[in-house]
Structures are given as C-alpha cells and as structure tokens.
Chain A
Amino acid sequence: MSKQLQFKLVLLGESAVGKSSLVLRFVKDQFDDYRESTIGAAFLTQTVTLEDQTTVKFEIWDTAGQERYKSLAPMYYRNANCAVVVYDITQSASLEKARSWIRELQRQADPSIIIALCGNKADLSARRQVSQEEAKKYADEEGLMWGETSAKSGEGVQEIFAAIAKKLPQNTPASARAGGRAGPSGRTGVDLNKQAAGAPGQDEPCNC
C-alpha cells in the first residue's frame, strides 16, 4: 500500500518577491501579473507523488503580509517541516533579506527543518542582479537546497517542491507529521469542530 505523508511548509522572503505567486503556480498552475497580497486563505494544500508512489501532502502557509514589518508570529514557524525562502533574482537586496530570514529560521524553527532557497522571477534574467553562482555558494555553505523558479512561466516550480518532498523524512507515520495539526487524521488533542457538532444536549446557536 502506498504511504501518505503530510508536512507543514512555510514561505518566507521579502514582500513582492513572488511568494504567493509561487504557491499559486504550484497549487493551481495559475499566474496573475497584478496579483495583490493574498487574502482569505488560511493555508493551501498540494500533493506530490514520489517515484515509489508515496504521496507527500504539503500544507503551505503564506505569511499573509505579517513579514512586512517583521511581525511574524512564532506560531508561523512552529512545527514547520520545511521552508521555502524566496528572493528575487533582479533585486540583490532581496537575497540579503533571505539571509536574515534563514538566520531567523535557524533560531526559531525546529533544527531538523529543511530549507530551500529559491531565486524567483527567473524569466527576468535580463535584469539579473543575483548570479546563480553567488546564491548557490551561499546555499551550499548553509546546507540549504537551492533552485531558480519563474512563477510566471512555471519554470522550476514543480521541480523545487518535488525536490523538497524527496528530501523529507519518509519513515515517520503521517500522524506525527505537521505537528499533529495537519487535519483530522493528524490531530492528537481534542477536536473542537468535531465535538461541536456532536455535543449532546447542547444547542449551539448558529447564525450561519
């Protein structure tokens, strides 16, 4: 029988480097040139199937803009299994920001977290400010995965998520993944939603 594993993936990076676009391309295979900051999605999910038929389900958390003034909550990093730190290859300052996010991850997140450094907007290579050599050298020094992507053309997007999926530990039961928060199957504590529907003798006043 094929295994199903579930992992929490967090996105990090300076505003406007294309974090949301990258996820939108990965999850829905869409791109929108004038996309504004993400509104209304708690997190998105997407599944990758590995060669051995193991399916890896990502629960992808977007920053919801809380990175703009360095106001990401500790909750965001909590139990993250992997992180994609995005920079814009046409903005060298965005790689500096990525470095500081990586330091933040090393400080706040679980030490076993898998970090991928991702140079986005590869379609704009004519305006490139960050060379592949520079980024790759840094990634190698820090033990990070690295790749370039274009959310606009789709280039490299599936590849980087597939590479992360491959690198995640495959021998942990799904119930222990994503901190147990990954949905009904992954929960270990009490489930408020479930209990709310089945609470005996309690009419839950609902104004839906």
Chain B
Amino acid sequence: MDEEYDVIVLGTGLTECILSGLLSVEGKKVLHMDRNDYYGGDSASLNLTQLYRKFRPDQAPPTELGRDRDYAVDLIPKFIIASGELTRILVHTDVTRYLEFKQIAGSFVYRDGKISKVPSTEMEAVKSPLMGLFEKRRAKKFFEFLQSWKDEDPATHQGVNLDKDTMASVYEKFGLEPGTQDFIGHAMALYLDDDYKTKPARPAYERIVLYTSSMARYGKSPYIYPLYGLGELPQSFARLSAIYGGTYMLDKSIDEIVTDANGKFVGVRSGTETVKAKQVIGDPSYFGAGKPTDGGKVRVIEEGKVIRAICFLKHPIPGTDDADSAQIIIPQNQVGRRNDIYVAMVSSTHNVCAKDVYVAIVSTIVETDRPEQEIVPGLQLLGPIYDKFVTISSVYTPTASGKDDQIFITRSYDATSHFETVVDEVNDVWKRVVGKDLVLKKREVEVEA
C-alpha cells in the first residue's frame, strides 16, 4: 500500500462504482476500498446469510426459504427506467456485457382503496378503470398535446409556455380531475410530492415524455431490472474500473481520513498504513455520517429519513394479475400524506429468490415519529407477509463541495423509485472532481479474436 493514487474511492455503492469505473477509463489511478467483505455498500443485494447477519445476527435463516445462494435481496428498491440516464451509461460503458435485464411486468397505481395497472397500451387505456369516459377524452387531449409539442413550432403550444406556466395551470387547461393529476404526476412523472404543481411545467413535461418513451420501448412497463439483483450494477462498474487498472480492496477497515494543516486531503489510514492520493470520493458512512469526524468537522448532515421494509411473500401481490414483478405507487393525496409510498416487487423470474417466493419492498420518506405506521397502507396491499425486515436510514448530504479540501462526498440513496437521481449525483461529483462535465465516450472494445 505504499503507492500513491490519483483518487481513493471509499464504499462500493453504485454511485461510487460508476465514478470509479469512469475515472479509470479516463486514465486515473484509482484505489477503491470498502469496509464490507461484499460489493455494493448500501446498494448491495444480499444472500440470506448476509441478510440475516445484518438484521438478525443471532438467528439463522429458516431452511424453508431454500438455498442461500438463490437469494439476492436488494437493500434499496429501485428500478431502471428503460430510456433513462442510467441505461445510457450502461450502454456507453459497455458494462451491459456483464449484465442481463428483464422487464418489470407492470406498474400499478393506488386509487380509492384499490390498485389498477398504469395502462401500457391504448387498449389498456380504454379499458382502464382509472378514469371515467369523459375524463379519458380529456386525458387523451392532454397526452396528444404533450406528444405533439415542438419547442420551435408555436402552433403546437396551444397558448402554453412550458417555462412559465405552472403544471397546475396546464392540468386546469385540460380540465383534469385531481385523481387524474395524482396518477399523472406520481405514477408517470414519478414525483414524490405535489410541489411540482406550482412550478413551471417543463420538467414535468420531460418526465412524462421519458415515461411514455420508456413504456414504448419494451411494452409491459417502463422499467427494467438486472437478473440477480441490483447489486450486479455496482459489481459490473467495479469490473470496468479493474479492467482499466483500478485496484480493489474489500473487507478493509478505514480508520482515518488524513488531512494536512489546512484541512486538505492527504490520504486514508487503515490500521497502521496510510495510502496517499490527490483526491478522495466516498459515501457519507465514511465521513462521520452526521457526527463530527477527525478534527471536529461535520462533513455530512442529515436531510431526512427513509423507511424501507423488505417483505418476503409466498404469493404474488393480490390484484396484480399474478405479476412476477411490479411497482405500486400510492400517491400521497390518496392516503393523506405529504410523500408517496412505493412498493417494488421482484421474484425468482429475476433470480433474486427461491421459486414461489416474492420479495416486496415498501418504502417512503419518514414524516412522523412512528415511521412503521406510515407504511401500513403499502403493507396492507401485500396480503400475508411471511417475514419482514425494516430499516430506517438517514439521507445524508455533504456540507462542502470538496473544492477546498479535495474530499468529495456522495449523497445517500433517496426515496425515488428509479436511478435518475443517482446519475445526477454521478454527473455532479464528476464535475467537482474532474473540473469539467462528464461526456460519455463509447470506449474502444476489444474485437473478438
């Protein structure tokens, strides 16, 4: 460990692994460390032994759940939007050759006490119970308006200015009911709360277009998912990094972030050894996670908390037509909350659990001091729950940009149901670390012999 590196990366979560991979491809000398003996940090997928070790250290996994190795249980539930930014990075870095994806079978939305499928075809839309006949006509006009919008052609604008008019005023123009607004804003634009309504409409417009184009791409839902769990994603970027010379050390205790007299980063101490580098990138858990670090500095602060309940079921979720995988969105208005509740379910189709087991994760942003009560509307949709593992985790954000001390801290994973904000984070950290925008170049691929 007496070599000097350009960048030390701490933690092998997805954000860190994408950055590590891209930095290595760029020619940086990267040392990537993790205190755990497995890849993925907070975005790992665990086998049964690892899961029980984490949640119930004094209990062995029940034998009736089947083989340990058949399990890859995600700690953070997210799906990949088919036409989204993560897909673009996966394709451009060519890590797709290590991965295999399957569709998520359906996206559902909760309304008036029951769940309905978000229509994926015109046929489904016509039959959908989500809207009455007249509302369907109004919604059709609204979607036609969005689809035909061209910035350069004012004739398609129908008097709307996407950059000035609020989304609320656009809904009003088309006369859409509050229930339809919930459905469009939360199940399609994937907003977690209603703040977007009072802001200019363009971001919502872009999100709806992303959703519909993703839906059109594979048919059943706008989401795809990697076989063997989300933990495959950090692993594949770690391999990319290693192939470009990145050095990997798992199961390594990180004891101190060493700085000079001015507080600037010098290196990382593990035991009695200190490795030097010009810059360090890492997840908040390596930087005090809300508590003062060496030298009394608070490097990250808590922004909020997210509750996630990993539930093992012995049956598909009722009302999903026995779907092997699904997302269910419970818009906040429907259950008198400020933030949506999400359910993400995958199964043996995705090689993440034994046959006839279904893994559903219910999550939301914590609003009260009784978070477990808050997810009850989600848990109630699942039917009998065989077993449940609950975590309440803080979402941390760095207090400084890293410009002065060359310490670049990533944000915790948020409550969104997809990876778009993870990619935003990658772009942001890249710009701070490298000093210029991330431009994805297709890398040279070794031609098959």
Contact = CB atoms under 8 A, between A and B. Distances in A.
8 contacts: A28-B449, A42-B97, A42-B240, A71-B251, A73-B39, A75-B228, A192-B87, A207-B440
A200 B441 CA distance: 22
B189 interface: no
Interface string A140-167: 0000000000000000000000000000
Interface in A153-208: 179-181, 187-190, 192-193, 195-196, 199-202, 204, 206-208
B439 A207 contact: yes
Task: Give chain B's interface secondary structure class.
Answer: mixed
Interface residues of B, number: 50
Interface stretch (A33-41, A92-100, A117-125): A33-41
Interface stretch (B120-128, B216-224, B322-330, B352-360): B216-224
Interface string B178-203: 00000000000000000000000000
A53 interface: no
A66 B38 CA distance: 13
Given A190-B103, A204-B88, A40 B243 contact: yes
A75 B239 contact: yes
A180 B91 CA distance: 18
B250 A199 contact: no
A51 B140 CA distance: 64
Interface string A38-81: 11111111100000000000000000111011110111101000
A189 B101 contact: yes
B98 A75 contact: yes
Contact of B449 (A46, A70, A78): A46
Contact of B102 (A41, A189, A195, A200): A189
A74 B235 contact: yes
Contacts of A193: 91, 96
Interface of B: 38-39, 69, 82-83, 87-88, 90-91, 94, 96-103, 213, 216-218, 224, 227-228, 232, 235-236, 238-240, 242-245, 247-252, 439-442, 444-446, 448-449
B70 to A, nearest CB: 12
B431 to A, nearest CB: 15
A7 B240 CA distance: 21
B101 A190 contact: yes
Given A46-B449, A70-B251, A192-B96, 6 more contacts: A45-B449, A65-B242, A74-B235, A75-B98, A190-B101, A201-B216
Task: Give chain A's interface secondary structure class.
Answer: loop
Contact of B235 (A38, A75, A208): A75
Contact of A75 (B232, B250, B442, B444): B232
Contacts of B444: 40
B448 A66 contact: no
Contact of A40 (B87, B96, B244): B244
Q: Which of A37, A45, A64, A71 has the most CB of B within 10 A?
A: A71
B235 A73 contact: yes
A39 B98 contact: no
B100 A181 contact: yes
Contacts of A199: 83, 213, 217
B2 to A, nearest CB: 15
B274 to A, nearest CB: 17
Q: Which of A64, A76, A78, A201 has the most CB of B within 10 A?
A: A64
Contacts of A78: 228
Nearest to B83: A202
B153 to A, nearest CB: 16
A50 B445 CA distance: 29
Nearest to A201: B213
B239 A71 contact: no
A176 to B, nearest CB: 13
Q: Which of A43, A75, A200 has the most CB of B within 10 A?
A: A75
B441 A190 contact: no
A188 B236 CA distance: 19
Contacts of A75: 98, 228, 232, 235-236, 239
A55 B248 CA distance: 36
B39 A39 contact: no
Nearest to B248: A71
Contacts of B102: 189-190
A180 B100 contact: yes
A130 interface: no
Given A45-B448, A78-B228, A202 B213 contact: yes
A32 to B, nearest CB: 16
Contacts of B38: 74
A172 B50 CA distance: 33
A201 B214 CA distance: 11
B449 A44 contact: yes
A207 B87 CA distance: 15
Contacts of B69: 108
Contacts of A76: 239
B228 A190 contact: no
Contacts of B251: 70-71
A202 B222 CA distance: 14
Given A180-B100, A181-B100, A66 B248 contact: yes
B244 A39 contact: yes
Contact of A71 (B91, B94, B101, B250): B250
B243 A39 contact: yes
A188 B351 CA distance: 13
Contacts of A45: 448-449
A142 B340 CA distance: 55
